[in-house]
A and B are shown apart, each in its own frame.
Chain A
Amino acid sequence: MASWFPQISYTKVDDDLLEILEPPGVGWFLLLATAIGCVVLGGYAWSIQVREGIGHAGITHPIMWGVYITDFVFWVGIAHSGTLISAVLFLFRAKWRMPIYRIAEAMTVFAVLTAGLFPIIHLGRPWNFYWLLPYPNQRYLWVNFRSPLLWDVFAVSTYLTVSTVFFIIGLIPDIAAARDRATGIRKFLYRITSLGWTGSHKQWRHYVAAYGFFAALATPLVLSVHSVVSWDFAMSNVPGWHTTIFPPYFVAGAIFSGLAMVITITIPMRKAFNLQNYLTIWHYEKMCQLILFTSGIVTYAYATEFFIAWYSNNPFERYQFWFRPFGDFNVAFWGMVFCNCVAPLSLWFKRLRTNIVWLFIVSIIINIGMWLERFNIIFNSLAREFTPDAWGNYNFSWVETAITIGSFGWFFMFILVFIKVFPAMALTEIKEIMVPPRRDPASAHH
């Protein structure tokens, strides 16, 4: 038995974790109604933008990538820790991933679904989004494979597909476990979605082999996706974007924000479903260690950007990195520094990182900080490019604000439905790391 929860029976694991699937209470319905309300608000705002034009968004020269691309990068980043926890930590056999990896994977799939909306919302004519697919469009012109935006299409769609497959495959044995205890319509639903899984040795043999390959394939993928997203910026020559540090800096930032989101989601879930035996302080401390590590990388990357701007002696770069802390958007810059570099430092103190309330607050602060980071990269760089006559500012509109709020509603709507429909914690893998029952219990070993 792993050291983090007391010796309990397999039956108890099933009883505790499948209880999450019991019919929801009033609180759940209120949360779902709020989430759907946000989605409706965002949908209404988008419908105005589609009907009357992209001018309803604040996008204007020179900041032609506004809040929507900030949201896109933010949500792709949130998607990253799911695959990190499910694939990378699986390959490293990190047992602390077991109770959190399912919800982290769900978060990945739903965050990519959210992120994928923004490049379409960002389009002036969103009904032409399929022009990005490799087919001969008007005049038989094929897509430009040398463009990072097209790499993004391939990277994000591959990530969505592979993450979804990985997520669903992991769910099958647990759905089968839920099926064998359910009754009525739920049993029917689980009978279909478990694909007739029985857990025979022949099935496990291929399942375990395939799962290892999914993890091995997803690991380089998770590193590549945010690298490709960073190249959307770094491949251009815009001051503040044209830098080789972007891929590792984006990947570390994505893991940082994703872990914070896992904490934001699991803390209320732990309280609501009495999961203290499964999601222990030990698990949160492990996540805090990774947050501290990635926060350190992100802080180092911020400092390196400033150093390179100075050391390069490039006047445009130098001006850009003067503009960030002292220019029009300086509140966003200092907010980012506080949220991503200063606030996580509190987690060095055991008393604070073992305080669940504080951890929840810090996780939200980090998420705000990571949104601000993308805001800084996009807004500051585009506001101050090369020639002063092309400089400009930005007027935020209620439409893009409503769509951003709608995206949070969209994401949490899926999360809320998921935890009530399918097992949100991995029964099978939690059982797998427990010491199996022996004829002579004294012979049980760790």
Chain B
Amino acid sequence: MAKEYVVVGRFHNVDDTAKAIRLVRGQNREDFNLYTPFPNHELEDVAFEGKKRSPVRRWTLLGGMTGCTGAFLMTIWMSMDYPLRTSAKTVISIPAFVIIAFECTILLGALFTLVGMLHHSRVPNIFASPGFRGNFTKDEFGLAVRVEKNEADKLKAELEKCGAAQVEVQYVR
């Protein structure tokens, strides 16, 4: 059966939110979104327990290496393409090229990090996120869990028991 419903719990404190996440994960429900107005390490630890770190770091490494290699290749190739000796320096002046390579390492490292972050965060996103409420960027913590129709009422009661200030069931088909 398709998971056509989202149960949205709105919480006013970290302890109740953490308790609700543990409950949901304890039921092997991984199709959930936790919304917070700011990054909270305590809640992140509960939500990501047993999961791998963000892969964004690989993008940074790839970008940095690409920038560094590309800059050396560019400077060396362009200097060789039209060899012109200036100020008694060698045509391939590695110390001078290191500065260009450094800047390109940082530049592409940052741009790749940006691409990696956007890609993994799924932004830009023009579609409304089911379960998201405006107050989740303000002062509330939200937990939105996708469930099948016959599970919605049970989960709603459980989230209320965890201390949710309000629980809504939303049809998202």
CA distance A432 to B116 in the complex (A): 24
Residues on A with C-beta less than 8 A from B107 are 158, 161-162
Q: Does B74 contact A (CB under 8 A)?
A: yes
Q: A145-B100, A195-B123 are in contact. Are A439 and B13 (CB under 8 A)?
A: yes
CA distance A136 to B81 in the complex (A): 10
Size category of the binding interface on chain A: 35 or more
Digit string of B33-56 for contact with A (CB within 8 Å is 1, else 0)? 111111110111001100001101
Q: Is the CB of B129 within 8 A of A198?
A: yes
Q: Does A431 contact B (CB under 8 A)?
A: yes
Q: Does A185 contact B (CB under 8 A)?
A: no
Complex interface residues of chain A between 186 and 229 (CB less than 8 A to chain B): 195-210, 213-214, 217-218, 220-221, 224, 228
Pick the contact of B56: A180, A210, A428, A431 (CB < 8 A): A210
Interface of chain A: mostly helix, strand, loop or mixed: helix
Digit string of A169-194 for contact with B (CB within 8 Å is 1, else 0)? 10011001101110000000000000
Least CB distance, A435 to chain B, in whole angstroms: 10
Pick the contact of B44: A9, A141, A195, A201 (CB < 8 A): A201
Pick the contact of A200: B53, B100, B126, B129 (CB < 8 A): B129
Pick the contact of A201: B43, B118, B124 (CB < 8 A): B43
Known: A10-B138, A209-B56. 9 other contacts (CB 8 A): A142-B78, A142-B79, A144-B84, A145-B100, A173-B38, A198-B35, A204-B44, A213-B109, A217-B110
Q: Is the CB of A217 within 8 A of B123?
A: no
Specify which of B14, B37, B136 lies most central, judged by the most chain A CB atoms within 10 Å of its CB.
B37
Q: Does A306 contact B (CB under 8 A)?
A: no
Least CB distance, A402 to chain B, in whole angstroms: 33
Number of interface residues of B (CB under 8 A): 69
Closest 4 CB pairs of A and B: A196-B125, A180-B134, A210-B117, A10-B139
Q: Is the CB of B37 within 8 A of A199?
A: yes
Least CB distance, B132 to chain A, in whole angstroms: 5
CA distance A297 to B107 in the complex (A): 29
Pick the contact of A436: B40, B82, B89, B102 (CB < 8 A): B40
Specify which of B13, B60, B118, B138 lies most central, judged by the most chain A CB atoms within 10 Å of its CB.
B138
Pick the contact of B103: A208, A224, A429 (CB < 8 A): A224
Q: Does A143 contact B (CB under 8 A)?
A: yes
Least CB distance, A143 to chain B, in whole angstroms: 7
Pick the contact of B138: A181, A195, A213, A443 (CB < 8 A): A181
Least CB distance, A58 to chain B, in whole angstroms: 30
Q: Is the CB of B38 within 8 A of A429?
A: yes
Q: Does A146 contact B (CB under 8 A)?
A: yes
Binds A, one of B1-9, B91-99, B151-159: B91-99
Digit string of B20-43 for contact with A (CB within 8 Å is 1, else 0)? 000000000000011111111011
CA distance A351 to B134 in the complex (A): 45
Pick the contact of A146: B42, B96, B111, B126 (CB < 8 A): B96
CA distance A280 to B64 in the complex (A): 39
CA distance A59 to B109 in the complex (A): 39
Residues on A with C-beta less than 8 A from B81 are 136, 140, 142
B residues near A (Cβ < 8 Å) are 12-16, 33-40, 42-44, 47-48, 53-54, 56-57, 60, 64, 74-75, 78-79, 81-82, 84, 86-87, 89, 93, 96-97, 99-100, 102-104, 106-107, 109-111, 113-114, 116-118, 120-127, 129, 132, 134-139, 163
CA distance A151 to B14 in the complex (A): 50
Q: A145-B96, A436-B13 are in contact. Are A201 and B36 (CB under 8 A)?
A: yes
Q: Is the CB of A14 within 8 A of B96?
A: no
Pick the contact of A14: B99, B100, B122, B139 (CB < 8 A): B139
Residue of B nearest to A231 (CB): B99
Residue of A nearest to B61 (CB): A213
Residues on B with C-beta less than 8 A from A158 are 103-104, 106-107
Q: Is the CB of B137 within 8 A of A176?
A: yes
Residue of A nearest to B51 (CB): A205
Pick the contact of A207: B33, B96, B103, B117 (CB < 8 A): B117
Digit string of A131-153 for contact with B (CB within 8 Å is 1, else 0)? 00010100011111110001100
CA distance A140 to B56 in the complex (A): 40
CA distance A203 to B124 in the complex (A): 11
Least CB distance, A283 to chain B, in whole angstroms: 20
Specify which of A140, A198, A204 lies most central, judged by the most chain B CB atoms within 10 Å of its CB.
A198
Pick the contact of A438: B15, B35, B123, B132 (CB < 8 A): B15
Q: Does A313 contact B (CB under 8 A)?
A: no
Residues on B with C-beta less than 8 A from A436 are 13-14, 40, 42
CA distance A220 to B110 in the complex (A): 12
CA distance A207 to B117 in the complex (A): 6
